Amino acid sequence: MDEEQLIQAIQTGDERAFKELVEKYQLLVVNTCKSFVHNMHDAEDISQDVFIEVFNSAHKFRGESKLSTWIYRITVNKSLNFIRDHKKQSLFQSIGNTLFGTSQSLDVRLNSYADRPDFQAENNERKANLYQAIDALPERQRIAFNLNKFEDLSYREIADVMQLSVSSVESLMHRAKLNLQKSLYACYKNEN
Amino acid sequence: MKHQQIRDKLIFFREQSLPENETRIIQEHLVHCKECSLFLDRLNEDFATIQSEKLVSADPFYYTRLKAKMEQHEQLGVTSRSWAQVVVFSVLLIFAISGGIMLGKNFSTLDYQNETVTSELLLFDGVKQEPIEQFLLTEE
Ligand SMILES: [Zn+2]
């Protein structure tokens, strides 16, 4: 089935077509989620929500963009929503900890993944620094950077996903790289 | 170019996206600047980490887990739908009962008024004219 047939079949509730779509886009979706949350557990959870949304809103896909562009867009939105919700939760937890006197870290970003046992088991401090540097990028710079570096999307493809011009993406990428270099240099100086 | 200016261009240098003359100046600087050279290695390692993080083979059980989650969602949807039905029916029932009571009350008052409207007015006319406190005071 080509993309159009696939989405048309899903619109009629065809499960076989949906399975085919999931198998085709599984790596794309999971890897994109992982580039935002940096751990497999959350990446799988978000990716499942992405496919559920694809299934439920297949009728909204008008074919104005490529199917992969539409799926990338849903994936980025779901990942960012997850991060926002998680930050809110961590913030409330931190406020609670401050009010009730427990001495947990107030660093929301760090709480989001680096404190987790699964992260510590899989990663070292260098990786944590790298991810923190990426996570510290302003949102649009981070989206462009992740899609380019983790997903190898071209600036044209990123522009389609983000609904921006190619020159805007170029500018976002340039600033993202400068900011990332600055953060990584600070880590490098601290280590030496 | 100074050391700091070069250091700020290393991320672009490693991607080979700088003009030829700048690339050559940086290459020459790297030969004798240990700090820039080590930082460039560091950047290369970090970017290699990004590439190594990518999953390259699909999980064969992924779809099974996804279906399980979808069924769970559907069940939750059904449960919340049946809860919504219960709530709607309860509200309708309450409206029906209270409507019935109101109607009943209205009819009974009408009957009562029809029969006793004159006596009621006569009986309580005095109280309506003056407050009860005053009435009690004058009694004393
Ligand atoms: Zn130098």
Whether the CB-CB separation of A1 and B24 falls below 8 Å is answered with no
- Within a domain: residue B66? no
pLDDT mean over B15-20: 96
State what percent of residues in chain B have pLDDT above 90. 46
**A1-91 and A93-192 share one CATH topology?**
no
* Residue of chain B nearest A174, judged by CA positions: B12
Q: What is the CATH number of domain A1-91?
A: 1.10.1740.10
Under 8 Å CB pairs connecting chains A and B tally to 64
Domain A93-192: which CATH class?
Answer: mainly alpha
- Within a domain: residue B85? no
Model confidence at A99, pLDDT cuts 50, 70, 90, reads low
| Residue of A11, A35, A7, A12 whose CA lies nearest to A137 | A35
Model confidence at B136, pLDDT cuts 50, 70, 90, reads very low
Token pair belonging to A184: 């990584």
Model pLDDT for residues A3-31, shown as the tens digit of each residue: 889 999 999 999 999 999 999 999 999 99
- Within a domain: residue B40? yes
Cα A39-A41-A45 angle, rounded to 5 deg: 120
Q: Is the pLDDT of residue B114 over 70?
A: no
CB < 8 Å to B10, chain A: 181
- Within a domain: residue B46? yes
Can you give A108-128 as a three-state secondary structure string?
HHHHHHCCCHHHHHHCCHHHH
- Within a domain: residue B101? no
Q: How many angstroms is it from A122 CA to the middle of ligand 1?
A: 33
SS3 content of chain B, % helix, strand, coil (to 5): 85, 0, 15
Model confidence at B124, pLDDT cuts 50, 70, 90, reads very low
Q: Is A78 on the interface with B (CB under 8 A)?
A: no
Secondary structure of residue B90 in the 3-state scheme: helix
Distances (CA, A) of A26 to A76, A161, B61: 14, 18, 11
Whether the CB-CB separation of A119 and A127 falls below 8 Å is answered with no
* Domain with B35 in it: 3-54
Model confidence at A77, pLDDT cuts 50, 70, 90, reads very high
Interface confidence (ipTM) of the complex: 0.81
Of A186-190, B41-45, B60-64, B135-139, the poorest mean pLDDT is in: B135-139
- Within a domain: residue B118? no
Token pair belonging to A3: 């993309």
Of A31, A127, A185, the CB nearest to B55: A31
Instruction: Look at residue B123 in the predicted model and tell me its pLDDT.
Output: 43
The number of distinct structural domains making up chain B is: 1
Distances (CA, A) of A136 to A141, A142, B110: 10, 8, 75
- Within a domain: residue B29? yes
A52–B70: do the CB atoms touch at under 8 Å? yes
| Residue of A47, A43, A45, A25 whose CA lies nearest to A34 | A43
Name which residue leads in pLDDT, A93 or A140. A140
Model confidence at B94, pLDDT cuts 50, 70, 90, reads confident
User: Where exactly are the structural domains of chain A?
Assistant: 1-91, 93-192
**Residue of A16, A47, A185, A190 to mutate for B, most B C-beta atoms under 10 A:** A185
Model pLDDT for residues A119-137, shown as the tens digit of each residue: 554 458 889 999 999 999 9
Nearest CA to CA, how far is B89 from chain A (Å)? Answer: 28
- Within a domain: residue B110? no
Work out the end-to-end distance of chain B between its first and last CA atoms, rounded to an integer number of angstroms: 110
Of B55, B63, B66, the CB nearest to A27: B55
Q: Is B43 on the interface with A (CB under 8 A)?
A: yes
pLDDT mean over A81-102: 76
**Residue of B16, B33, B53, B76 to mutate for A, most A C-beta atoms under 10 A:** B53
Cα A103 to Cα A184: distance, rounded to the nearest angstrom:
28
Can you give B9-70 as a three-state secondary structure string?
CHHHHCCCCCCHHHHHHHHHHHHHCHHHHHHHHHHHHHHHHHHHCCCCCCCCCHHHHHHHHH
Model confidence at A190, pLDDT cuts 50, 70, 90, reads confident
Mean pLDDT, chain B, rounded, equals 78
Q: Which residues contact A78 (CB under 8 A, 6 or more apart)?
A: A33, A46, A49, A50, A53
Whether the CB-CB separation of A25 and A68 falls below 8 Å is answered with yes
